Every structure is written in C-alpha cells, then in structure tokens.
C-alpha cells in the first residue's frame, strides 16, 4: 500500500529541484522510511510503478486529503456515505492522519496529533486488560492501541463507509491484522443494549460531539455501559476541551449523569479531555 500526502510530496519535489537522484521518504504516511529513486519521468516506486511529477505536484498542492497510489493510478482517499449523506476523507498531519467527517476532524490536531491524542486516552485508563469495548471505532487508533494489552477488544462503527477509509489508511491496518480485535457495524446505542451483563473489564467511550450524538451522552446509555461492565470495571469517556465554555458545561452534565447511572466514582482527566468513571 503506497499512501502519501503533501507532507511527503513537497520534500520530494524540493529534492528534485536540487538535482538529487534519490530521496528518503515515506510511502505509508510516516510509519516507515524508504529510499526512492528520482527519475526524469517521476518517482520510481518499489512496485516498479512511476509516480509522475504532475501527479506529485497535484498531491503537494492539496493539504486536505491523502492519496492512494497504485502504480500510475492516484486516487484521493475520500468516500461519500449514502447512508448518512456525508463525506469522509483521510486528512494528513505530520504524524498519523485523522479523518474529516463532513469537514470536521475526528481527532485533536491542535498542539498534538492523532496518535498522541490516542495515547493520552489509553494512559488515562491504563492498565487496559481483559475484555475491552471501544464504543466508536473511527480510524481504529484507540482499538489498535488498547488491543496491544487487552485479551480481546470489541469495537463498534456506525457507518460501514468508514471501513473503506480504514482499509486505505496504513495506520488503521491493525483493525484487520490483529486477531484479538472484533469489529461490529451498528449504532453503539443499540449494539450495547444487546450485550450481556458484566462482559467487559474496561470501556473506552469516544463519541462524536454532543450535538451530533446526544443519545451517547444520555443517562440511559450510561446505565447500559454500567450494566455491561464487570464489578470494579472502569470507563474512559472522551468529552472535549474542559477549558472551553461548551466543554465545561458538557463535562458537568456528563459527570452528573454518570453518577445518576450508578458509577460510584468519576474523576476528570483534563490532559485526555475526558473523565474516568468506576463501577
């Protein structure tokens, strides 16, 4: 899988302008580095394809999306969901990409990056052991990271179109490669309601904003999360910037509803933009 963005394309074009005949770059969005030959026609890819200079210039000019490169075929990693009537696209950063959902990034990218954002969530609820539920899969970074120490991880994704983005994202491949990850498609509100009592040791709940998915912030949903947690189980709930006006308001409401739903102890984790609650 060759996937690049303007982050890789611009230094390659600069190397060409300097007259260099080879360049160290990444063909998997900064996961690994490879030496690639520069030719008159374009960049010589490991699979013997040639990425033309005009194609590289197009990629370098677009900061909004990553590109999948298959020989001489170059495509934006962007899909439209007919089910939910919105676009998804893989958005580049200097580290792991994020996903734009109807134009909004699904990870924190200001003063951090999607991978460090993921690590902060895992750290907030560590150690992650046993049976783990990730309520909202997205690009799968949380699921992949948690699965490194969990016995079994179950992750839920609302829109099957998101899987098309994941399949073309090098950073998401653990979703398909790790045998201890189970992917479910459906609305987390409904899927959780069908799960057995006391099934999970740990739940990671990283829902969309309150305005987009208010039901995933409801006391009834929190009661369901508590029901499927084992005794002394723990829940990390991502909320958003606790220092913003809306973040403070939502955080207060979340803490109150978690307590009303039976969680005995709820502690803010501002560094991870969330709270940890214990059954």
**What is the distance between the alpha carbons of residues 120 and 156, in angstroms, rounded to a whole number?**
20
pLDDT (0 to 100) of residue 90: 98
pLDDT (0 to 100) of residue 100: 94
**pTM (2 decimals)?**
0.94
Q: Which residue has the tokens 């947690």?
A: 229
**What is the distance between the alpha carbons of residues 262 and 238, in angstroms, rounded to a whole number?**
19
Identify the CATH assignment for 106-278 out of 3.40.50.150, 2.40.50.100, 1.10.357.10, 3.40.50.1100.
3.40.50.150
pLDDT at 244 over 90: no
pLDDT digits (tens, 9 = 90+) for 96-143: 999 999 888 988 888 889 999 999 999 999 999 999 999 999 999 999
**What is the distance between the alpha carbons of residues 45 and 25, in angstroms, rounded to a whole number?**
11
pLDDT at 218 over 90: yes
Please give the helix or strand (H or E) that residue 103 lies within, else none: none
Closest residue by Cα to residue 265 from 255, 252, 274: 255
- Residues forming CATH 3.40.50.150 domain(s) in the chain: 106-278
Task: List alpha helices for 1-52, DSSP H.
Answer: 6-17
**What is the distance between the alpha carbons of residues 166 and 170, in angstroms, rounded to a whole number?**
8
Beta strands in the chain (DSSP E): 2-4, 22-25, 34-38, 42-44, 50-52, 67-70, 73-76, 78-81, 86-91, 98-101, 104-105, 131-134, 152-157, 181-185, 200-205, 229-238, 265-269, 274-278
pLDDT digits (tens, 9 = 90+) for 51-75: 999 999 999 999 999 999 987 789 9
């Amino acid at each position: 899988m060759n996937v690049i963005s303007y982050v890789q394309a611009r230094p390659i074009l600069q190397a060409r302008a300097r007259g260099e005949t080879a360049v160290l770059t990444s063909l998997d969005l900064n996961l690994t580095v490879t030496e690639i030959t520069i030719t008159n026609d374009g960049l010589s890819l490991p699979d013997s394809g040639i990425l033309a200079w005009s194609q590289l210039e197009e990629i370098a000019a677009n900061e909004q999306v990553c590109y999948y490169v298959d020989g001489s075929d170059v495509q934006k990693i962007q899909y439209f969901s007919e089910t939910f009537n919105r676009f998804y696209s893989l958005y580049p950063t200097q580290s792991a990409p994020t996903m734009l959902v109807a134009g909004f990034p699904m990870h924190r990218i200001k003063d951090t990056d999607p991978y460090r954002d993921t690590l902060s969530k895992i750290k907030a609820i560590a150690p992650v052991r046993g049976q783990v539920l990730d309520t909202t899969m997205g690009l799968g970074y949380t699921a992949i990271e948690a699965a490194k120490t969990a016995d079994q991880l179950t992750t839920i994704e609302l829109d099957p179109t998101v899987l098309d983005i994941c399949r073309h994202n090098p950073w998401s491949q653990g979703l398909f490669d790790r045998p201890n990850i189970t992917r479910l498609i459906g609305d987390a509100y409904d899927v959780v309601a069908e799960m057995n009592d006391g099934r999970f040791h740990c739940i990671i709940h990283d829902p969309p904003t309150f305005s987009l998915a208010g039901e995933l912030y409801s006391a009834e949903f929190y009661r369901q999360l508590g029901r499927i947690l084992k005794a002394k189980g723990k829940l990390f709930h991502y909320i958003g910037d606790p220092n913003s006006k809306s973040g403070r308001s939502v955080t207060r409401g979340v803490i109150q509803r978690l307590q009303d739903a039976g969680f005995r102890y709820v502690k803010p984790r501002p560094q991870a933009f969330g709270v940890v609650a214990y059954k």
